[in-house]
């Protein structure tokens, strides 16, 4: 039976990465952490480019913490130059 299961259900390797602990946001509400990671990502991209490793960390962080609706709204605000934070 184990041989059949191995043929039907191959073992997949998947690494789950979520936001790491940030001492600036010790409480359970991670809304500020989410917003700050979003801002930090675009500041990083503007200064270092998308391929910089720290930028990728900020990207993963805000995508794991922020609701998709917030990200979509912030993207719209950025494109309309109405985002409430400086990204440069």
The string of pLDDT tens digits covering residues 26-78 is 777 788 889 999 999 999 999 999 899 999 999 999 999 999 999 999 999 99
- Domain holding 50, by residue range, is 2-79
41/44 Cα distance (integer angstroms) = 5
CATH code where residue 27 lies: 1.10.10.140
- Total domains in the chain come to 1
Cα 77 to the center of its chain, rounded Å: 18
Going by pLDDT thresholds of 50, 70 and 90, the confidence category of residue 6 is low
63 in any annotated domain: yes
Whether 23 is in a domain gets the answer: yes
Quote the pLDDT of residue 28: 72
Query: Using 50, 70 and 90 to split pLDDT, how confident is the model at 22?
Result: confident
84 part of a folded domain: no
- Asked, for residue 56, whether it belongs to a domain, the answer is yes
């Amino acid at each position: 039976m184990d041989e059949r299961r191995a043929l039907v259900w191959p073992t997949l390797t998947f690494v789950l990465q979520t936001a790491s602990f940030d001492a600036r946001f010790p409480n359970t509400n991670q809304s500020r952490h989410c917003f700050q990671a979003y801002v930090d990502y675009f500041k990083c991209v503007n200064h270092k480019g998308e391929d910089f490793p720290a930028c990728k960390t900020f990207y993963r962080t805000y995508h794991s913490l922020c609701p998709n609706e917030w990200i979509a709204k912030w993207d719209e605000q950025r494109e309309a130059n109405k985002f409430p934070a400086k990204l440069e």
